[in-house]
Structure 1
Amino acid sequence: MLGTLACYRREVHVPTSAEKNAMALLVNTAALILDYRREIHARQATQEALLRNEQRFRSFVTATSQITWTTDAQGNVIEDSPSWRAFTGQTYKEWIQTGWLQALHPDDRQATFATWQASVATRSGFEAEYRVLHADGDYRWTAVRGVPVLAQDGSVREWVGTNTDITERKRAEGDLRRLAARLSEEDHRKTEFLATLAHELRNPLAPIQNGLELLRLAGNNPEIATKVRDMMQRQLSHLVHLVDDLLDVARINSGKVELRKEQVELRTIVTNAVESTLAVMEAAHHELDLSMADESLVVDADPVRLVQVLGNLLTNAAKYTPEHGRIKLSVDREGQHAVIAVRDNGIGIPPQALPSVFDMFTQVAAGAGRAQGGLGIGLSLVRRLVEMHGGTVTAASPGEGEGSTFTVRLPVVQQQQVDAPLSQDQVAPIGKTGSVLKVLVADDNVDAAESLATLLELGGHKTTVAHDGHDALRLVLQRQPDVAFLDIGMPELNGYEVARMVRQTSGTNQTVLVALTGWGAHHDQDQAREAGFDYHLTKPAGIEAIHALLEAVHSARAATS
């Protein structure tokens, strides 16, 4: 019941038919008015709810940073999309119909539109990834998904969809792909390096093994013995060079290489580098042309390392230049820099190989039938050492068969008095020292200890051998030798411990302690000095260096006696 309608009169009255009809009309009219008002309120409530839902939806879309859009059943844009316009900067007129395609990257438009048309034709979901020109002028990747909205009769009423900015994801994927490619390339290079290392180590080992057999079979034939010894010395020097390069790489990568800088003339560096590579040049019958600046150029450098740099460049030029080639080394000054260039007329470097020529384990492919040795680490060492000197090194080549040029630039310093290099005739003579020294050789490598002791005995010295730290310490204390060669890595007591104990014992200060070890970095030398060693030699120490050391010990004692 909606309500009641009452009519009152002063006197008793029976309503007539007309009055009853009028009353009924009033009641029905009031009921209709009330129903209409109730319907209006209901509609208002529904519209307000729809408006709230729409506002909530729009706020949600805005908060998600998604681009939302709608099209008609045929796939044409009709309604506005504020999120699309905010992202792309397009106006409504530019965006409607198929204008949105103009915001896509030119390379993505055709394929994207073909996929969209196929989805509209088959009424299937639309998924794609394409680049959209952002309002800031950069293209950004978006992932797109659109679905059809069906009417009650099953037909497509419209399409709705979203674009999601996936630029950062794409960048991350690209970074991962590049990282994977780099790691794969490095792994490939390391695999090749290990195979090359095995090959390069076998090369000198094979003739050394053959030489040992020749010495056994030749008996007392002095001509064969001399020839074989020379050959074995060359191969051993090559083997030592390979190992030294490997150790240098490890030390540089771990930051354990310390430069011993001094002011030195480049002419001295160049002279020593050329002398160290003359054998390689002569073996290949190369012509070496030197061009030095007229003025004296002084650099603040580690002479040993700088000779190593130029030696590697000259050796590399000789190796990659066919026989009877021409190699030129020039030294000039450009402003505050000394410029050292090594040019050759060899096989050259392909343009695609130039950017990676200084990378670790990289080797430029040689010409047909021309195999090249080496581990592919020489140029990497050159770059690292030059950079440690505050300089730069670059490579240039017109192309294959056109030769190459490696250029080193180093800062020069104000010229000062530089000590002249020690000439060959100033070096102590090699061989017997002319005096007999008591020498202890301690090494857990039995062959190494016995062979060195035999060599020293042939030089006229009296030797004793130990193979562990305890035995070495006992013999030093008992016999008090003039010189004790101690290996660092001995069992029981290592060389450092033996040296400390010797120095802590009275009456043993006259014994000269020499560290003979495979660890040759500067910090290894410092550690040996702190332990009490007088000298440090890196294995394999040449017999010339050992004889020179013994001569120095004899001369020092003769001067104080």
Structure 2
Amino acid sequence: MAKQHSTTESPLPAAHSLAAEVADLRLLLGQRDAEIATMRDEAARAAARQHTFLALLVRELRNPLAPVSLANTMLAKLPEPSAGLLNVHAVIHRQVQHLSHLLDELLDAASLNDGTMTLARSPAPLVALLRRALQTVQVRILERHQQLQLDMPEELTVHADPARLAQAFANLLVNASRYTADGGIIRMAARAHEGRAVVTVADNGAGMAPEVLAAMFDLFTQGARAPARAEGGLGVGLNVARNIVELHGGKIVGASDGPGRGSVFTVSLPLWSGADGTAAAAGRAAPPSRRILLVEDNLDANDTLGQLLLAEGHSVTAAYDGIAGLSLARTQVFDVLICDINLPGLDGYELITQLRRTAGAHIPFAIAISGYARPDNRTRAIAAGFGQYVVKPLDIDALLALVASEAVTRFIAAAGNAR
């Protein structure tokens, strides 16, 4: 008898299999989404750690630069300095400025890339910004006997943060000089085009290969270095320049016909349509004498800055920690407080906060000095009660000018009238 075969099968086996595959895929996608979210969180934490590390690194490197810079300033102020001494002073000054510039670039790059940099914009003549940028790199260009060709009309005005936009153009000029041979040519030109200011920085230097062009604005990216070039760089200058230009509503592009054929960078910015932002400078009175309380825990920095202030005709009382500084501020009369932020015992923020809360104790104008250059540090200092925030290494001429300024005189006069 022949065997009978059953034809009964489970219903829709393909549908069950497909449903299982879909469920597995959904589970896999959920796992991938969770992994991506975790990776994003880790990347954000890593970026935050990197920024914190960079800020700390810059501050720790700036702190020893401050007394070096101040001591070097005193070298030039010695009576009848010899030619050799002045040469040593010039060398130290250049190297301090170079290191300070590298530190500023690091912190600026971090601030720009995490969106914490803020601008103080006002109408500004474009030619003044370009000349300010040129002053930054003039010594470098002269030392390398490079030819600088300029075409800068006077009438263009932009709405800009003058210091930041000048920094962007200086970075472009530094880049052009760095990758152009001694005796090479650098051209800077500005013109108006369809309601925008267009600035070009061109050179006949090393040029760029296509793969370099594609990544030229990325952080820590550099072109090929000439074997004879002694100076280095961090590879952040073009990134900083691009981000500053974009913060101003502008655009920057770079082009090159290839290695050995030079480069051209073109910046386009909106023209300011309002009134001209320039104003005549007012005449200055003779520098007044201030009663200054200097609070700085670095002994060398305190001593050298104190001597420089004394040489300008000011009276100086020194304190080396926050507690001693606050005690002096409460018991003596001063016109100006110059106070480091990172102090032992009581930091600068707390010192000024407590001083402003103390009845009968008042210093009309307070200047914070710090190795941190982040905008939030500046904002916190101003909110606590400081009138100005100065980053180390100090520009001593700018600090002395601030102390003797008419603005500070008005603060002192107002405080006197209120008593």
Instruction: Check whether TM > 0.5.
Output: yes
1:503 corresponds, among 356, 378, 381, to 356
Alpha-carbon offset, residue 368 of structure 1:
3.5
Is structure 2 residue 405 aligned with structure 1 residue 405?
Answer: no
Structure 2: segments with no counterpart, 5+ residues:
44-49
Is structure 2 residue 409 aligned with structure 1 residue 549?
Answer: no
Aligned to 2:158: 299
Aligned to 1:361: 220
Q: Is the 8 A contact 1:293 1:333 kept in 2?
A: no
Aligned to 1:53: 9
Secondary structure of the 1:330 match is strand
Aligned to 2:290: 437
Mapped partners of 2:326, 2:275: distance in 1: 48
2:250 corresponds, among 388, 391, 410, to 391
Aligned to 2:47: none
Aligned counterparts, 1:217-296, within 5 A: 222-293=82-153, 296=155
Is structure 2 residue 305 aligned with structure 1 residue 349?
Answer: no
1:224-256 deviation line (CA, Å, top 9, x unaligned): 222211221121111211111112122223322
Aligned counterparts, 1:2-41, within 5 A: none
Computing the radius of gyration from Cα coordinates, the structure with the larger value is 1
- One-letter code of the match for 1:393? I
Mapped partners of 2:187, 2:297: distance in 1: 48
Aligned to 2:46: none
Q: Structure with the greater relative contact order (CA < 8 A, sep ≥ 6): 1 or 2?
A: 2
- One-letter code of the match for 2:339? L
Aligned to 2:190: 331
1:428-482 deviation line (CA, Å, top 9, x unaligned): 59xxx65543222111222221221122223333222212111001111222222
1:375 corresponds, among 234, 254, 269, to 234
Mapped partners of 1:421, 1:395: distance in 2: 37
Q: Is the 8 A contact 2:331 2:361 kept in 1?
A: no
Aligned to 1:310: 169
Aligned to 1:20: none
- One-letter code of the match for 1:480? V
Q: Which moved more, 1:307-316 or 1:366-375?
A: 366-375
Mapped partners of 1:427, 1:517: distance in 2: 31
Identical pairs, percent: 34
Q: Is the 8 A contact 1:320 1:372 kept in 2?
A: no
Aligned counterparts, 1:80-159, within 5 A: none
Mapped partners of 1:370, 1:545: distance in 2: 33
**Count of residue pairs the alignment pairs up:** 381
1:93-118 deviation line (CA, Å, top 9, x unaligned): xxxxxxxxxxxxxxxxxxxxxxxxxx
Secondary structure of the 1:370 match is coil
- One-letter code of the match for 1:414? S
Q: Is the 8 A contact 2:242 2:251 kept in 1?
A: yes
* Closer/same/farther in 2, CA of residues 65 and 223 from structure 1, 3 Å limit: closer
- One-letter code of the match for 2:380? Q
Structure 1: segments with no counterpart, 5+ residues:
1-35, 67-164, 184-189
Secondary structure of the 2:372 match is coil
Alpha-carbon offset, residue 279 of structure 1:
1.6
Aligned to 1:448: 301
* Closer/same/farther in 2, CA of residues 435 and 272 from structure 1, 3 Å limit: closer
Aligned to 1:148: none
* Closer/same/farther in 2, CA of residues 59 and 523 from structure 1, 3 Å limit: closer
Q: Is the 8 A contact 2:157 2:276 kept in 1?
A: no
Alpha-carbon offset, residue 378 of structure 1:
0.5
Secondary structure of the 2:9 match is helix
Aligned to 1:340: 199
1:72-91 deviation line (CA, Å, top 9, x unaligned): xxxxxxxxxxxxxxxxxxxx
Mapped partners of 1:494, 1:64: distance in 2: 63
- One-letter code of the match for 2:171? N
Q: Is the 8 A contact 1:428 1:551 kept in 2?
A: no
- One-letter code of the match for 1:405? V
Aligned counterparts, 1:458-469, within 5 A: 458-469=311-322
Alpha-carbon offset, residue 258 of structure 1:
0.6
- One-letter code of the match for 1:257? M
Mapped partners of 2:348, 2:243: distance in 1: 32
Mapped partners of 1:60, 1:526: distance in 2: 63
Q: Is the 8 A contact 1:428 1:548 kept in 2?
A: no
* Closer/same/farther in 2, CA of residues 369 and 226 from structure 1, 3 Å limit: closer
Mapped partners of 1:525, 1:316: distance in 2: 29
Mapped partners of 1:358, 1:478: distance in 2: 54
Q: Is the 8 A contact 1:332 1:338 kept in 2?
A: yes
* Closer/same/farther in 2, CA of residues 370 and 275 from structure 1, 3 Å limit: closer
Aligned to 2:390: 537
Mapped partners of 1:439, 1:63: distance in 2: 80
* Closer/same/farther in 2, CA of residues 261 and 490 from structure 1, 3 Å limit: same
Aligned counterparts, 1:198-209, within 5 A: none
TM-score by length of 2: 0.79
- One-letter code of the match for 1:387? E
Q: Is the 8 A contact 2:200 2:265 kept in 1?
A: yes
* Closer/same/farther in 2, CA of residues 408 and 427 from structure 1, 3 Å limit: farther
Mapped partners of 1:499, 1:60: distance in 2: 73
Q: Is the 8 A contact 2:329 2:363 kept in 1?
A: no
Mapped partners of 1:498, 1:61: distance in 2: 72
Q: CA RMSD in A?
A: 3.8
2:365 corresponds, among 489, 495, 512, to 512
Mapped partners of 2:205, 2:280: distance in 1: 33
- One-letter code of the match for 2:131? T
Alpha-carbon offset, residue 530 of structure 1:
2.3
Secondary structure of the 1:53 match is coil
Alpha-carbon offset, residue 322 of structure 1:
0.6
1:529-549 deviation line (CA, Å, top 9, x unaligned): 222222222222222122212
Q: Is the 8 A contact 2:206 2:262 kept in 1?
A: yes
Q: Is the 8 A contact 2:251 2:268 kept in 1?
A: yes
Q: Is the 8 A contact 2:125 2:276 kept in 1?
A: no
Alpha-carbon offset, residue 272 of structure 1:
1.8
Q: Is the 8 A contact 2:293 2:334 kept in 1?
A: yes
